[in-house]
Amino acid sequence: MVDWASLLQSLANGILIAGLYAAVTLGLTLVLGVMGIVNFAHGELIMLGAYSSFWLFTLLGIDPLLSLALSGVLLFFIGTGIYRFTIWPIMKDPPLNQLLLTLGLSIFFQNLAMILWKTDSRTIITSYSGMSLDLGIIHFGLTRMITFLISVVLTVLLVVFLSKTKPGRAMQAVSENNTASWLIGINVEKTYLLAFGVAAALAGAAGALVSTVMYTFPMVGFKLSLKAFCILVIGGLGNIPGTLFGSLILGITESFVGTYIPEGSGWAEGISFVLLIVILIIKPTGLAGTRRE
């Protein structure tokens, strides 16, 4: 006999967490799509966003859902700085160099965070942390619901930015063909800078969301990076619909594993590796469609 209530509840939990995963992955997708770089330090930008939200809350009492915008702005500037001083000088070098550079940045920021803030796991307890929303047979934590909604808003904002604004359309053009983009009068280097900044801002905002529903600690970005890579691989590299699809698959799979497999909550954390490996073996172009050339 199927327990419909628990199935629905599990599905709903999966969808909610998928929203957060999408917010976590979008910046990675943007940088990969526009610049062709797999940014291994993306998770660390999220970690910085989470810490900035944590400290703004702890020291100044600013609610993380408000400080989200501040984290976004802060990370935008950190992101453009990182681009300008580390990535820009080697943009013309072989892709492997850029990959190794971002890996180095990732390790640097992890260690910096350990030195500055120790390895303690920090949590934010807001006035509404324990509240939940009951919808008949299923119910949600209020915080999770809000992080989901904000993730949806961030996604919509990004899509509108990319399709309706001039710099956003320039990013799309560059992702399609950067030689052609130069030739039609787009400053491709400035577009890279902006794309990296926007991706970092998204990471900052996602980090603030993360700080409300997970522990904040120096390795949180690393943990989320692995999930994000899994999502990229599921969705096909570097496109937004694929990222949303991949987030849903991962979120729901984790949730089902947590519900239906004995001792599942431990397994759920590792399921992203299993998905990653299985998909790379059976369908390396991604479940959702084609890989970016």
Partner 1 sequence: MLELKWIDVYYGNIQALWDVSLSVKEGEVIVIVGSNGAGKSTILRTISGMNKIKKGSIEFGGQRIDLLRADEIVRLGVSMVPEGRELFPRLSVRENLELGAAYIDRAYSRRTETLQWIYSLFPILHERGSQLAGTLSGGEQQMVAIGRALMSRPRLLMFDEPSLGLAPLMVDEVFKTVTKVSQEGVTILLVEQNVRQSLKMAHRAYVLENGRMVTKQSIDVDPEKCILCGECVEICPVSAIDMTVNGQPENPGRDLGRRVSRKSQ
Q: What phi, psi does 25 have (nearest 5°)?
A: -90, -25
* Closest approach of partner 1 to the CB of residue 243, in Å: 17
Ramachandran category for residue 36: left, alpha or beta (phi over 0 → left; psi -120 to 50 → alpha):
left
The nearest distance, CB 235 to partner 1, in angstroms, is: 17
- Do the beta carbons of residue 180 and residue 79 sit within 8 Å? no
Of 121 and 165, the one with the shorter C-beta distance to partner 1 is 165
- d(CA 98, CA 79) in angstroms, rounded, equals 15
What's the closest the beta carbon of residue 70 comes to partner 1, in angstroms? 32
Residues 267, 273, 277, 283, Cα dihedral to 10°: 100
Cβ distance to partner 1 smaller for residue 174 or 203: 174
* Residues 49 and 38 sit within 8 Å (Cβ to Cβ): no
Pairing of strands 132-135, 138-141: antiparallel
Q: Which is nearer to partner 1, 122 or 169 (CB)?
A: 169
Our CB check for partner 1 shows the closer of 111 and 165 to be 165
Convert 87-119 to b/e letters by CB count within 10 Å (16 or more is b).
Answer: beeeeeeeeeebeebbeebbeebbeebeeebee
Q: Which residues would be at the binding site for partner 1 (CB under 8 A)?
A: 166, 169-170, 173, 176-177, 179-180, 182-189
Nearest to 43 by CA among 189, 199, 149: 199
Q: For residues 9 and 172, which CB has a smaller minimum distance to partner 1 in the complex?
A: 172
Q: How far is the CB of 172 from partner 1 (least distance, A)?
A: 8
Q: Report, in Å, the least distance between residue 233 CB and partner 1.
A: 21
